[in-house]
């Protein structure tokens, strides 16, 4: 009887139920999770699945998200550490930049922390585009590109960390060079550039910034859908659903 259990027993029972549920399920990774580790053209390796059902909803290994998830719910339940984004947003605020750019700083790396790394500026911009000003999406999209190109007028240098990470001979792909030139001539160039200026590379692991510090900024500039992110039929709703339910078979 549930009421007779203490909280530890309840937690153990819940774990047990989750393990039993897992044993009844077939969970298949999307091609993109494994592409490179294996050749995507190879036939999939499948365990025998007699009597098992393919996962078509919530993954029992993950914390369950609320029915109408908010932006902060994704930070809490699906994204990796947000410390870098939070510290960048706080720095931007300290530097007195427009609140919209503070929001852009808060959002700029959500793709690397919760979705897909390659072209993370583009993915993050697309995720938030239906809910923010065009200028915010622009800044997020192009910060990735502008990171590779210095701008002495605002004191932005090519990051030392990039030399370490990518080697001294690394050159951005031609499409990035073209995107850079496009951004350079755009009326919102400085918005994207300010994001790179406040994009803290060596952030302080001892400084703790809480999401709640930005509740008002998000409230004013991120238009949360009443149905919850993923369920509002926006052009990026399916992407939020995929983050919520990353292992659904279809
Ligand atoms: Fe970034
Ligand atoms: Fe960043």
Which tops the pLDDT comparison, 231 or 2? 231
Predicted confidence at residue 1, as pLDDT, reads 44
Q: How far apart are CA 61 and CA 64, in angstroms?
A: 9
pTM of the model: 0.92
Percent of the chain with pLDDT over 90: 83
Q: Residue 119 C-alpha to ligand 1 middle, in angstroms?
A: 9
Q: Which two tokens stand for residue 58?
A: 């919530």
pLDDT tens, 39-49? 999 987 777 77
Question: What's the whole-number average pLDDT of the chain?
Answer: 93
Strand segments, DSSP code E, in the chain are 25-26, 53-54
Q: Residue 30 C-alpha to ligand 1 middle, in angstroms?
A: 24
In the block, residue with structure tokens 């008002």: 216
Query: Would you say 136 and 100 are in contact if contact means Cβ atoms under 8 Å apart?
Result: yes
Q: Which two tokens stand for residue 129?
A: 């585009």
Predicted confidence at residue 44, as pLDDT, reads 79
State the ligand closest to the CA atom of 117.
Answer: 1
Q: How far apart are CA 90 and CA 245, in angstroms?
A: 31
Q: Residue 164 C-alpha to ligand 2 middle, in angstroms?
A: 16
* Total length of the chain: 250
Q: Residue 195 C-alpha to ligand 1 middle, in angstroms?
A: 9
The residue among 203, 241, 41, 30 whose CA lies nearest residue 127 is 241
Query: Would you say 101 and 143 are in contact if contact means Cβ atoms under 8 Å apart?
Result: no
pLDDT tens, 66-91? 999 999 999 999 999 999 999 999 99
Alpha-carbon torsion angle 93, 98, 103, 104, nearest 10: -110
The residue among 74, 99, 88 whose CA lies nearest residue 207 is 88
Ion ligand 2 contact residues with beta carbon within 5 A: 109, 199
For residues 184-202, give the mean pLDDT.
Answer: 93
Q: Residue 201 C-alpha to ligand 2 middle, in angstroms?
A: 7
């Amino acid at each position: 009887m549930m009421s007779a259990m203490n909280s530890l027993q309840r937690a153990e029972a819940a774990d047990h139920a989750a393990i039993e549920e897992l044993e009844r399920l077939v969970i298949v990774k999307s091609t993109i999770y494994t592409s490179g580790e294996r050749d995507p053209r190879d036939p999939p390796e499948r365990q025998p699945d007699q009597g098992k059902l393919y996962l078509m909803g919530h993954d029992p290994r993950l914390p369950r998200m609320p029915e109408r998830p908010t932006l902060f719910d994704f930070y809490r339940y699906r994204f990796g550490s947000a410390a870098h984004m939070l510290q960048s947003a706080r720095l931007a605020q300290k530097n007195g930049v427009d609140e919209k750019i503070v929001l852009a700083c808060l959002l700029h790396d959500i793709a690397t922390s919760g979705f897909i790394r390659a072209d993370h500026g583009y993915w993050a911009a697309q995720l938030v585009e239906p809910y923010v000003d065009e200028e915010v999406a622009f800044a997020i999209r192009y910060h990735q590109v502008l990171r590779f190109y210095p701008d002495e007028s605002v004191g932005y240098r090519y990051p030392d960390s990039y030399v370490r990470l990518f080697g001294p001979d690394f050159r951005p792909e031609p499409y990035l060079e073209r995107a850079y030139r496009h951004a350079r001539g755009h009326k919102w160039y400085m918005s994207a550039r300010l994001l790179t200026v406040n994009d803290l590379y060596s952030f302080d692991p001892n400084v703790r910034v809480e999401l709640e510090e930005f509740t008002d900024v998000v409230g004013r500039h991120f238009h949360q859908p009443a149905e919850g992110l993923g369920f509002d039929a926006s052009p990026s709703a399916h992407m939020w659903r995929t983050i919520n339910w990353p292992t659904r078979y279809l």
